[in-house]
Amino acid sequence: MGTGNKEKSVLVNDLVKFYGKKKDVVKALQGISFDVTHGEIFGIIGPDGAGKTSLFRILTTLLLPDEGRAIVDGFDVVKDYKEIRNRVGYMPGRFSLYQDLSVQENLEFFATIFNTTIDENYDLIKDFYSPIEPFKDRKAGKLSGGMKQKLALSCALIHRPSILFLDEPTTGVDAVSRKEFWEMLKRLKEQEITILVSTPYMDEAGLCDRVALIQLGKILSINTPQKIIDDFKKPIMAAKASNMLHLLNDLKNFEQVEDAYPFGEYHHAVMRNNFNEESLRKYLQQKNKELELKKTEPDIEDCFMSLMPASHKEE
């Protein structure tokens, strides 16, 4: 455990990161602040270009911030980087193990660097490592995507870190493997490891204890997934009809509808607070066949869209 704030595994204060020169500078992080409590699964949720990877690279001491401060496990990411490196595990978005070393050689390599052995921490990695152990002599480059992921996670955990950083572990992974990966994370949480995980998939927010929704270097909201949903105060109607394209246009043209967009099988219509359900129904019935209209609860994705600044919605 670190010496600083025992309750907080990560403290981030006004973090800023720029890339490039004066004229075409890219603002990757525009003053980000949040904290992560010990033992939490904290999700950083946002699309590509939100700043997720820059943030993770700063917190794992691989990149220097331009402004602001971050404390990880009680240590400063700039001054005490060596301490932090012993205490965190990092799984980058891109597979970055040694492709021409075998499964076991990779794991032994990382264990040795951190002055430990596979045996010493086997209980911690057992969940991820035992399914690939029968292939321990196979070169890492020859593994399937799911097996690479399990090996990468084993290597990130082999020194028993107190905080684990997972940068987009489920990107490009199919729905079944994604579910299984999250089940593994839940079990890891029981070992009292703090987990920071980033993802572009909004539906994964519900699997985190708390989430930060992030877009273009700015945090839109930080809370538990349920609170973020509770904070969405406007009513949402779900609608479906024989011609979904026409239905969408009809919804957009109705004056009590603030915003309407496709949402899987139904369209979602964000309504003004004083809307009249019956007049909406009558209006839509005149123009659509097989109309189905019902109240629905907002989803994290509804929240994300309503929190996005208007200027970016036009992009």
Partner 1 sequence: MSSTSNKNILNTPPTGGERGTVIKADKLTKRFGDFTAVDQISFEVNKGEIFGFLGANGAGKTTAMRMLCGLSLPTSGTGRVAGFDVYKENEKIKRNIGYMSQKFSLYEDLTVKENIRFYAGIYGKSDKFIKDKTEFILKQLHMENEADKLVKALPLGWRQKLAFSVAIFHEPQIVFLDEPTGGVDPVTRREFWSMIYQAAESGITIFVTTHYMDEAEYCSRVSIMVDGRIDALDTPSQLKKSYQAKSMDEVFLKLARKAARSESNPTKTA
- Residues at the site binding partner 1, with contacts judged by CB under 8 A: 24, 46-49, 131-132, 134-135, 143-147, 171-177, 179-180, 200-202, 215, 245, 261-265, 301, 304-305, 308, 312-315
Nearer to partner 1 by Cβ, of 75 and 128: the residue is 128
Q: From the CB of 175, what's the least distance to partner 1, in Å? A: 5
Name the nearest CA neighbour of 161 among 191, 184, 129.
191
Sheet holding 75-76, edge to edge: 26-37, 8-19, 67-72, 75-76
Least distance from partner 1 to the Cβ atom of residue 85, Å: 28
Contacts made by residues 179-183, CB under 8 angstroms, sequence distance 24+: 181/149, 182/207
The answer to whether the beta carbons of residues 313 and 280 sit under 8 Å apart is: no
Of 240, 236, 301, residue with least CA distance to 272: 236
Of the pair 36, 97, the CB lying nearest partner 1 is at 97
Specify the amino acid at residue 216: L
Smallest distance from the beta carbon of 201 to partner 1, in angstroms?
A: 8
Closest distance between partner 1 and the C-beta of residue 217, in Å? 12
Q: Which is nearer to partner 1, 43 or 46 (CB)?
A: 46
DSSP string, 115-180: T--TTTTHHHHHHHHTTTGGGTTSBGGGS-HHHHHHHHHHHHHTT--SEEEEESTTTT--HHHHHH
Q: Which is nearer to partner 1, 137 or 176 (CB)?
A: 176
The smaller minimum CB distance to partner 1, of residues 31 and 200, is found at 200
Q: Which is nearer to partner 1, 21 or 82 (CB)?
A: 21
The nearest distance, CB 165 to partner 1, in angstroms, is: 19
**How near is the Cβ of 132 to partner 1 at its closest, in Å?**
6
Residue 255 CB, nearest approach to partner 1 (Å): 22
Of the pair 116, 177, the CB lying nearest partner 1 is at 177
